[in-house]
Amino acid sequence: DIEGVTVERSTLHNFDEITRKDIRIGDKVIILRSGDVIPKIIKVIASERNGSEQIIPRPTQCPVCGSELLDEGALIKCQNMGCEARVVNSIIYFASKQCLNIDGLGDKIVEALHSSGMVRELSDLFSLTMEQLLSLEGFKEKKSRNLIDAIAAVKGCDCWRFINALGIEHIGEVASKTLCGAFGTAFDTASREEILALEGFGGEMVESILEFVRVNSEKIETLREILKPVAPVKIEAHENPFKGKSVVITGSMSVPRDSIKAILESLGAKVASSVSKKTDYVVYGEDAGSKYDKAVELGVTLLTESEFRSLTSLSDSASSTERIRVEPKNSLFD
């Protein structure tokens, strides 16, 4: 009993905290209700130990599916796409806009498909039938047909969407495109040294990829056979100010930012999500925010949308008559 509340469980945070506080099975501990709400162990009473206490072993296998775990110190994660503890979220992510963009496959539908036993893992999506869907509450013929057609339509997707949709820890759209550019659809055959040699790939990312492939090799191959993703056609971009450069886009533009991104990638630029010392340009619009501030701090060249269009020679007659805004610092047009 703590301040009139019966406490049955107390957070141990993560294994780094367990090690730092040397918490063992059988210990007597001091518990505090943080913020008068969350019970947490703040200290072990070492003087009360009698020698029977047991060190808590660091897990190496998922307690739900038994798969190898990705151990990143404070965080220990299961990357098995078929693990019952994460499969629903894996399917939701797989179908999301930034991945395969399967229209009509929202969170609630995924949960219904999984709880009914129709979809236990990602590959099951592609064997769904009209008869199965019609048996679900709220599914009529048109809705069922639309969903089946939407799932079928993602076959032949871009290579990067296939990799991104797998849900590999630390691997998003930019990293997926880099992997596709280097290895095509056979990214899972690349060695540690080959992946580590890619720009922007550090040890944590490489270990995540290798562990994911070890755990999911058969599932990756199955999905590759079903989806038949298309590897990018390597077309050498003509010489231009953005070729081989790292560019970040931020703020509101006159067109969707994906359009600006597509132009940059066609020019051979690498579009990154965050500003760093390696960033060559930041293309910004209204309400640019922290990325703009970071670029100023690091001395990265800043371009308005008008300046960007002038450099790419893609301005239409309207935009070409606009007055080019010049920033007091770091502007290419100073």
Q: For residue 211, is it within any domain?
A: yes
Q: For residue 241, is it within any domain?
A: no
Q: What is the pLDDT of residues 279-332, one digit of tens each?
A: 999 999 998 889 999 999 999 999 998 889 888 864 333 333 333 333 334 444
Q: What's the pTM?
A: 0.67
Report residue 240 as tokens: 């231009």
Q: For residue 3, is it within any domain?
A: no
Q: For residue 261, is it within any domain?
A: yes
Confidence (pLDDT) at 257: 85
Q: For residue 266, is it within any domain?
A: yes
Q: For residue 135, is it within any domain?
A: no
Radius of gyration of the chain (CA): 25
Apex CA 208: angle with CA 202 and CA 213, to 5°?
A: 130
Number of domains, the chain: 3
- For residues 27-36, average pLDDT: 88
CA distance 266 to 225: 28
Kindly state whether residues 285 and 312 are assigned to the same domain: yes
Q: What is the CB neighbour count within 10 angstroms for residue 179?
A: 26
List Cα–Cα distances, 124 to 4, 113, 117, 128, 226, in angstroms.
Answer: 50, 10, 10, 7, 11
Kindly state whether residues 264 and 219 are assigned to the same domain: no
Q: What CATH number does residue 296 fall under?
A: 3.40.50.10190
CA distance 128 to 230: 23
pLDDT, mean over the chain: 88
**Concatenated DSSP letters for 276-299?**
-TT--EEEE-BT-THHHHHHHHHT
Sign, Cα dihedral of 83, 88, 93, 94: positive
Instruction: Indicate if the pLDDT at residue 153 is higher than 50.
Output: yes
Kindly state whether residues 252 and 286 are assigned to the same domain: yes
CA distance 129 to 214: 31
Name the residue with tokens 């922007």. Answer: 200
Q: What CATH number does residue 169 fall under?
A: 1.10.150.20
Q: Are 125 and 151 in contact (CB under 8 A)?
A: yes
Q: Are 311 and 267 in contact (CB under 8 A)?
A: no
Q: For residue 263, is it within any domain?
A: yes
Report residue 279 as tokens: 């960033």
Q: What is the pLDDT of residues 177-189, one digit of tens each?
A: 999 989 999 999 9
Q: For residue 264, is it within any domain?
A: yes
Q: What percent of the chain has pLDDT over 70?
A: 93
- For residues 195-219, average pLDDT: 94
Burial 222-243 (b: 16+ CB within 10 A, else e): ebeeebebbbeeeeeeeebebe
Kindly state whether residues 259 and 313 are assigned to the same domain: yes
Tell me the residue range of the domain where 169 lies.
159-227
